[in-house]
Amino acid sequence: MVPPPSSNHQAIQQFLSSVLSQHGTSALPYSEDTKWLIRQHLLSLTTTSPSLEPKTATFTHNDGRTVNLLQADGTVPITFISATYNIPVIIWLIESYPRHPPCVYVNPTRDMIIKRSHPFVNPSGLVSIPYLQDWIYPSSNLVDLARELSSVFGRDPPLFSQRPKPNPNPNYHPNQSSLGSVGNTGGGGGYPRPIVRPAQYPPYGSGGAVGKVEAEDAAEVHKRNVINKLVENVHGDMLQFSKTREAEMESWFRAQSVLRGREEEFNKGLKEMRDKMEGLELHLQVVLMNTDVLEAWVRENKGKLKGGSEDIDVDNAFECVDVLSNQMLECTAVDMAIEDAVYSLEKAVQEGAMPFDQYLRNVRLLSREQFFNRATAAKVRAAQMQAQVAGMAARAPRYAN
């Protein structure tokens, strides 16, 4: 197709930019995030189909509501029996476009009629071709819609030229018929009914002229029916194939989600194992340091034991190496002694050897002293840990080797 002149194309661009940029009560009822895509769809349509012109008009819904919408008004070319014709159509861009398909009507002139029982056009002119039913946002567009309309209407035109009503003739007899005669019932301008056999009238011509009446033979009718049936079967197979592929993709997405969850669990477990390994290495260094200290103590005190076990002073069997160790030993001994004393008091109360009020006073005093000793032990332990860390840092090159 020849693209529209540059001046006309610029005028259409200015028109669309103007109507789509309006705000307030005069704004078109399209969402702001889709107005740019609507503009692009209409510009592409006018480039490939110059006979379709974008306009604004009032659209009336089935419930009586009226709204100002964009439309593409004009004709779509078709090829029928080796001849080119133009089918007048109106493409309404409803409020939810492009997320939902547009509303397409054939727009017959006064000398045209809509074909009865057309598979894709109802008596009111509403078009429902498969492309509209399978509309997918954002891949579907007006250019492909116009091409699909030309293809579908080329196989089965929805409009035919209406022959003028014959003048009254005193010699006319109802039983007289010929291939070109048409009978009317009810005296109105209804659908023509051929008398001899069904005769379809050619669509509206590209130059506006009405073609002559041609009768189709049975072979052409059978051929067209077979083609339509084949198209329907192919369309059904495509839908089934699409549903199958969608189900497979859904299962793949679910498997991908499961694998991602497992990957997260694996990474989490790996991190925990690395943290635990670092903790074990630190603990190993502490054990090695303590082993060195114990071995040094054993070597130092190995020859000091001369007599038997009766000469050993239990209180002096172990000597603390520093003030912190001595303080920790005293706090630990007091804590364990208080534990034994509280246990003995509980036994005395159970056996009735001590009044309960005296038991409570003694336990309160012992608990207070035990609390202070444990707090002191905690502080000493923290100080010892700092000293150990400093010693480990000094010995680190040795153990690394």
What pLDDT, in 10s, does the model give residues 241-282?
Answer: 989 999 999 999 999 999 999 999 999 999 999 999 999 999
Domain assignment present for residue 231? The answer is no
| Rounded Cα–Cα distance for residues 318 and 287 (Å) | 20
Do 337 and 289 belong to one domain? no
Same domain, 138 and 43: yes
Is residue 174 domain-resident? Answer: no
Domain count, the chain: 3
Mean pLDDT over the full length of the chain: 80
- Residue 186 in any domain: the answer is no
Q: Please measure the distance between the N-terminal and C-terminal CA atoms of the chain and give it in whole angstroms.
A: 83
Q: Roughly what angle, to the nearest 10 degrees, separates helices 218-301 and 142-155?
A: 150
347: containing domain = 323-395
pTM for this one? 0.43
Q: Write out the two tokens for 22.
A: 């309006």
Q: What is the pLDDT of residues 201-244, one digit of tens each?
A: 444 443 343 333 344 466 777 787 788 889 888 988 998 998 99
Does 32 share its domain with 156? yes
| Confidence at residue 186, expressed as pLDDT on a 0 to 100 scale | 35
- pLDDT tens per residue across span 282-300: 999 999 999 998 898 888 8
Residues 6+ apart with CB under 8 A from 236: none
d(CA 179, CA 182): 9
Maximal CA-CA distance, the chain: 159
Say how far apart CA 169 and CA 25 lie, in whole Å.
59
CA–CA distance from 264 to each of 26, 184, 255, 257, 260 (Å)? 53, 78, 14, 11, 6
> Does residue 214 lie within any of the structural domains?
no
Structural domain includes residue 184: no
